[in-house]
Amino acid sequence: GDSVTQTEGQVALSEEDFLTIHCNYSASGYPTLFWYVQYPGEGPQLLFRASRDKEKGSSRGFEATYDKGTTSFHLRKASVQESDSAVYYCALSAPNNRIFFGDGTQLVVKP
Amino acid sequence: EAAVTQSPRSKVAVTGGKVTLSCHQTNNHDYMYWYRQDTGHGLRLIHYSYVADSTEKGDIPDGYKASRPSQENFSLILELASLSQTAVYFCASSFTSNSDYTFGSGTRLLVI
């Protein structure tokens, strides 16, 4: 079945560090891939999505590239800020099917 | 502005009691969902609905019922609340099953 695996349960960084959160997926065909972000006390919200191989999604300095060859959609940011502290969810949806979420990665950025 | 509103924001319930969590959306979306969030488990789908007066089981439906009386409203019902149902519950809506989800702010439920 369709699934998403996020390798890191928690990532701790200092401000201006480079961020990578790994996301690998399992699905047939070309699913749509998403990154959602959840700030404390709020519900998850869409960060961005990508629907085709090699498509790059980006928002607020975060970016990820759809890679069908390695079935990955890793989240990256060149220089994190304390305000980026949140839980990040990778997700996928196959056509005519619901969204499947990964287990989430807690990002903690220290000033 | 289109939104998903959950009520209550938090609730304390006694074991064995009945709990109803409510969700209202103004997005004109057909699909609505209930998730629970526990530390270390991410978001787990309890029930969902794609049309009024019909609900479907998600991945962890045991101990929960759902009701969709109208396109805008979707409730989650715990007939006999248990300690293990202490969690944060999120409602979401979407236009189609695989389009972007809009989440509410969550309901924090504590069962004692």
**Residue B98: which of A9, A99, A103 has the nearest Cβ?**
A99
Return the pLDDT at B97. 85
Q: Which residues 9-38 of chain B have a CB within 8 Å of chain A? A: 33
Residue B1: per-residue pLDDT:
64
pLDDT score, position B48: 96
Res B24 pLDDT > 70: yes
List pLDDT tens digits, range B63-111: 999 999 999 999 999 999 999 999 999 999 999 888 899 999 999 999 9
Contact A104 B43 (CB under 8 A): yes
Give the HSE-up count for residue B50: Cα atoms under 13 Å, Cβ half-sphere: 10
pLDDT at position A97 over 90: no
The pLDDT score that the predictor gives to residue B9 is: 96
Residue of B1, B46, B101, B102 to mutate when probing chain A, most A C-beta within 10 A: B101
Q: What is the pLDDT of residues A29-75, one digit of tens each?
A: 889 999 999 999 999 999 999 999 999 999 999 999 999 999 999 99
Q: Mind listing the pLDDT tens digit for each residue in B39-75?
A: 767 899 999 999 999 999 999 999 999 999 999 999 9
Asked whether the beta carbons of B35 and B61 are under 8 A apart, the reply is no
Per-residue DSSP letter, A72: B
Contacts of A39 in chain B (CB under 8 A): none
Q: What are phi and psi of A36, to 5 degrees?
A: -115, 150
Pairing of strands A105-110, A10-14: parallel
| A-proximal residues of B, 72-111, CB under 8 Å | 90, 92, 94, 97-98, 100-101, 103-106
- For residue B2, the model assigns a pLDDT of 59
State chain B's mean pLDDT as an integer.
Answer: 95
- B82's torsion region: left (phi>0), alpha (psi -120 to 50) or beta? beta
- Across the interface, of A43, A46, A89, the residue whose CB is closest to B105 is A43
pLDDT of residue A63: 98
pLDDT of residue A21 exceeding 90: yes
